[in-house]
Amino acid sequence: MQYQEGMLRDGALQGKTIIITGGGTGLGKSMATYFLKLGANVVICSRRIEVLETTAKELTELTGGNILPIACDVRKTEQIENVLTQAIEKFGKVDGLVNNSAGNFISPTERLSYKAVDVVVDIVLRGTYYFTLALGKYWIENKIKGNVLNISTTYAWTGSGWVVPSAMAKAGVLAMTKSLAFEWADHGIRLNAIAPGPFPTKGAWDRLFPEELAKKFSFENRIPLQRVGDHQELTNLAAYLISDFSAYMTGEVITLDGGEVLAAGQFNFLKDVSEEQWDDIEEQIKNANRSSKKSE
């Protein structure tokens, strides 16, 4: 068995209908693919209907599953309600929501216009709480034990320069995940999140690691496990969290980043010390121990 392979058993999501925002591209498309393979009905939505339709056609041919593409800007509540209405009309009910849509780009914060901050925060934070609220009301009214998976980032809690609007918005999403996990547990509704490290996608790479930067900073050197993530690794975790196998888990945020977030460890700079240098260092420390014993 390899990490590039599907992990859950066939039919693990049979009978479930799951909405994936931003499901036409990148990680959203990969999750849609795996959920369909596991038997779910999948609704993908985002702004560009032509992208969604192309993805839907491709995934129908690949998996033979049921996929419904619907145009929706997650900042518009009437468009979110339309997605819900159409999903119920086609599939009878909705069981799960993956809040995966995002807007992001690197920039020194002082270069941003007010609108540039708004556009990122509105897609990531407002879009996520609008969609979650719409589904939550529907689930509570219809006594459905719904399940929400939010795609966050590790800098939601470490913070990060140069992506400040995204960091603020993703932090808000984490606060919502934990808060609602407690509040809606009475209704059997669960919320969890994944904080991914780098998983190559065109959307993220064009805006966060443009060629100029990619040449200078290699992931192999920065990530403790010395590679970027494989989409199947993330979709395996996502499928588990959106399935009933994770029924006892709520309010959790799982980091999947090859150890990238651990880089802050105070002594991690010692990574570059050679074996010979360690021989000298060990000797120096032992000498210091011996002389402090003598002077006692």
Q: Which of 107, 230, 249, 253 binds ligand HXC (CB under 6 A)?
A: 107
User: Of 229-268, which residues contact ligand HXC (CB under 6 A)?
Assistant: none
Q: Which is nearer to ligand HXC, 7 or 261 (CB)?
A: 261
Instruction: Return the one option of ligand NAP, ligand HXC, none that residue 28 interacts with (CB less than 5 to 8 A, by type).
Output: ligand NAP
The identity of residue 265, as a single letter, is G
188 binds ligand HXC (CB under 6 A): no
> In whole angstroms, how close is the CB of 199 to ligand NAP at the nearest point?
4
> In whole angstroms, how close is the CB of 228 to ligand HXC at the nearest point?
9
Give catalytic status of residue 240 as yes or no.
no
Rounded to whole angstroms, the Cα distance separating 262 from 256 reads 12
Instruction: Return the one option of ligand NAP, ligand HXC, none that residue 83 interacts with (CB less than 5 to 8 A, by type).
Output: none
**CA-angle at 120, arms to 59 and 219, nearest 5°:** 70
The identity of residue 288, as a single letter, is A
Question: Applying CB under 6 A, what is the total number of residues that bind ligand HXC?
Answer: 19
Q: Which is nearer to ligand HXC, 44 or 189 (CB)?
A: 44
Q: Which of 102, 121, 173, 176 binds ligand HXC (CB under 6 A)?
A: 102
> In whole angstroms, how close is the CB of 72 to ligand NAP at the nearest point?
6
> In whole angstroms, how close is the CB of 153 to ligand HXC at the nearest point?
5
Instruction: Return the one option of ligand HXC, ligand NAP, none that residue 256 interacts with (CB less than 5 to 8 A, by type).
Output: none
Rounded to whole angstroms, the Cα distance separating 240 from 181 reads 17
Q: Which residue among 34, 130, 138, 155 is the active-site one?
A: 155
67-71 β-sheet, strand order: 67-71, 41-46, 17-21, 96-99, 147-151, 190-196, 253-256
105 binds ligand HXC (CB under 6 A): yes
The identity of residue 222, as a single letter, is R
Instruction: Return the one option of ligand HXC, ligand NAP, none that residue 126 interacts with (CB less than 5 to 8 A, by type).
Output: none
> In whole angstroms, how close is the CB of 156 to ligand NAP at the nearest point?
9
In the block, tokens 């339309």 appear at: 82
Q: Exposure string (b/e) for 43-57, b if CB count within 10 Å is 16 or more?
A: bbbbbeeebbeebbe
> In whole angstroms, how close is the CB of 64 to ligand NAP at the nearest point?
23
208 binds ligand HXC (CB under 6 A): yes
Instruction: Return the one option of ligand NAP, ligand HXC, none that residue 243 interacts with (CB less than 5 to 8 A, by type).
Output: none
Part of the chain binding ligand HXC (CB under 6 A), chosen from 1-9, 135-143, 198-206, 277-285: 198-206
Is 145:94 a contact under the CB 8 Å cutoff? no
Q: Which residues are catalytic?
A: 155
Give residues in contact with ligand HXC (CB under 6 A).
102-105, 107, 111-113, 115-116, 119-120, 153, 166, 198, 203-204, 207-208
